[in-house]
Amino acid sequence: MSFFHPFRDHRRKALELMPFPMKWSDIIEKNVSCYQGLQATERDHLEDLIKVFINEKNFEGCGGLIITDEIKVTVAAQACLLLLNLKHNYYDQLVSILIYPAGFKIKQAQRTAIGTISESDMAVSGLSSSGGVIVLSWPDTIGGSKNEQDGMNVVFHEFAHQLDQLDGVMNGAPVLGSTSMYREWGSVLSTEYKQLREDVSRHRHSVIRAYGATQPAEFFAVVTELFFEKPVQLKRDHPELYEEFKEYYCQDPATRKE
């Protein structure tokens, strides 16, 4: 990924210097619960990220949904919160964000007991593709954005997948800063992922929801949701896992809850 591009960087600087619309601030205050704990400098930086993000990404309404400032700002604020302290290029592989007025269905292939492949419709609230597209259900987006008590947030989840695949593969290991970080990340997340799979198989409670046990990529996305929405519980129950995410995102959201 290339971070240096003179014309683009000049345009981004110009966008950052523009005042943040008061209407957008009102939307974030109303819709994005995780915004409340940010410090003033973090809020200022987040606003700069939002201005660039909205300018560069294409938002498209599907199923008759009309794209409004509320939709764009609500999605952008959460997507950019993940980027707050990362070295990043605004999810450069992402081109379009498709928003549906309700949940939608995708085809899922499954192998039957006799070895044949069957397809079924699976209801989902979000989808992240490697082809430059994220698909979101607006009711699930706004619901997850306003409620951080459930530890579920479709925007955090799908944009975590975008971060995961920046190295070309979605495998639960985003781009890290050093070999030692990869080694520690692999050790901790492998152990925690195996533990979650065992907890799910034995029907034991975990603050990490069961969907994270389906594959490492989903584990990373599910824990990202928890890291930003229920960081105190994650830190209490899984301190080593919390530290890995704290080091990756360069944020400590548990302190925002104190």
Statement: residue 104 has pLDDT above 50: yes
Dist. CA 161–CA 124, nearest whole Å: 15
* Residue 257: predicted pLDDT: 84
Closest CA to 78 of 172, 150, 20, 141: 141
Statement: residue 112 has pLDDT above 60: no
* Residue 110: predicted pLDDT: 47
Statement: residue 86 has pLDDT above 80: yes
* Residue 6: predicted pLDDT: 80
Dist. CA 227–CA 67, nearest whole Å: 29
Strand order in the sheet with 126-128: 58-61, 96-100, 133-137, 126-128
pLDDT class of 123 with cuts at 50, 70, 90: low
Q: What percent of the chain has pLDDT over 70?
A: 90
Statement: residue 143 has pLDDT above 90: yes
Closest CA to 208 of 186, 241, 182: 241
* Residue 24: predicted pLDDT: 98
Query: What residues have CB less than 8 Å from 250, skipping those under 6 apart?
Result: 84, 85, 86
For the stretch 10-68, pLDDT in tens is: 999 999 999 999 999 999 999 999 998 999 999 999 999 999 999 999 999 999 999 99
Paired residues of 128 in beta bridges: 134
* Domain extents in the chain: 171-258
Evaluate if pTM is beyond 0.85.
yes
Statement: residue 114 has pLDDT above 60: no
End-to-end CA distance of the chain: give it in Å, rounded: 37
* Residue 126: predicted pLDDT: 82
Domain formed by 171-258, architecture: 3-Layer(aba) Sandwich (3.40)
* Residue 131: predicted pLDDT: 86
Statement: residue 111 has pLDDT above 80: no
